[in-house]
């Protein structure tokens, strides 16, 4: 059992006269969903290992408002966003890292119009930066060396923000065989959870979107389906379970792969 890592809140840091270099924005999934909490822990381990001076907002963090906005409730979105911006600006936060592309996209592209201007990075971009700066080293791929891995592009990371290379370059550091699905990068297919679909039942149709996407992934017989979004992780995991392929194919976030390969 690894020892517990104490993550300071921004309030605690400020009370000691310090300011975090980076705010780790955990997001709703990373805070409350049991599966996504493992991704949160992996990100924390990586940041700690690289000696990044970071903190979380803790109970002062609220939903970014992404689900409300995508579901069409602009009023609720602005209320949620303004509350967060007030807290972030109050602490003079400059740099934000998050494991959720929905939070990433909303804070990066929609908060500036409401007075929230921050340098927002997805965890794959930030981890890539740590490796480039020599703050984090990956010694081979560990358990993933030589394994066949495919990466599912999250909509709000890929097509919405054109971040395709950072996650892939991290996977290449694992000495694994990176295999692309037929629909990938700018032609990637949604996992089925975007646009607030995560929180409602699907409309009637012939097939669930996540089943369609999982079929594409399983066609290439990967040992790992890598994701960079907690929603995608849920949808792809459900898809793999639907085909009873849990024994052959794992669904893991990039942060989990890096943390495990680095033996953190």
pLDDT in tens, 159-171: 999 999 999 999 9
Lowest mean pLDDT of 36-45, 49-58, 79-88, 187-196, name the range.
187-196
Question: CATH classification of 10-131 is 1.10.3210, yes or no?
Answer: no
Q: Is the pTM of this model over 0.75?
A: yes
Taking residues 73-94, what's their average pLDDT?
A: 97
Q: Where are the domains of the chain?
A: 10-131, 138-261
Task: Please report which confidence band the pLDDT of residue 201 belongs to, taking 50, 70 and 90 as the band edges.
Answer: confident
| DSSP per-residue string spanning the chain | -PPPPPPPBHHHHHHTT---SEEEE-HHHHHH-HHHHHHHHHHHHHHHHTT--EEB-GGG----SHHHHHTT-HHHHHHHHHHHHHHHHHTT--EEEES-HHHHHIIIIISGGGT---EEEEHHHHHHHHHHTTSS---S-GGGTT-EEEEPPPTTTTTTT---HHHHHHHHTTT-EE---SS-GGG----S-TTTGGGSPPPS-SS-HHHHHHHHHHHT--SEEEESSHHHHHHHHHHHHHTT-TTT-EEEEHHHHHHHHTT-
Question: pLDDT value at position 1?
Answer: 37
- What's the mean pLDDT when you consider all of the chain? 93
Question: pLDDT value at position 145?
Answer: 85
Whole-number percent of the chain with pLDDT over 70: 97
Kindly report the CATH class assigned to 138-261. alpha beta
Same CATH topology for 10-131 and 138-261?
A: yes
């Amino acid at each position: 059992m690894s020892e517990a890592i104490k993550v300071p809140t921004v309030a605690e840091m400020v009370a000691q006269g310090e300011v975090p270099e980076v705010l780790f924005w955990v997001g709703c999934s990373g805070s409350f969903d049991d599966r996504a909490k493992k991704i949160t822990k992996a990100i924390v381990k990586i940041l700690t290992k690289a000696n990044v001076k970071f903190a979380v907002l803790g109970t002062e963090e609220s939903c970014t408002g992404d689900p409300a906005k995508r579901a069409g409730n602009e009023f609720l979105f602005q209320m949620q966003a303004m509350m967060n911006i007030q807290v972030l600006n109050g602490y003079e936060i400059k740099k934000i890292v998050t494991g959720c592309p929905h939070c990433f996209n909303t804070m990066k592209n929609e908060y500036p119009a409401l007075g929230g201007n921050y340098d927002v990075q997805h965890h794959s971009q930030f981890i890539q930066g740590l490796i480039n700066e020599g703050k984090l080293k990956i010694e081979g791929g560990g358990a993933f060396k030589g394994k066949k891995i495919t990466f599912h592009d999250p909509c709000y990371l890929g097509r919405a923000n054109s971040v395709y290379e950072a996650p892939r370059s991290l996977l290449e550091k694992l000495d694994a065989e990176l295999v692309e699905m037929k629909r990938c990068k700018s032609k990637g297919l949604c996992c089925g959870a975007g646009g607030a679909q995560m929180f409602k039942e699907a409309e009637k149709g012939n097939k669930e979107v996540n089943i369609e996407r999982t079929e594409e992934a399983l066609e290439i017989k990967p040992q790992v389906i890598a994701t960079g979004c907690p929603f995608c992780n849920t949808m792809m995991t459900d898809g793999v379970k639907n085909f009873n392929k849990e024994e052959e194919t794992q669904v893991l976030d990039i942060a989990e792969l890096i943390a495990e390969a680095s033996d953190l």
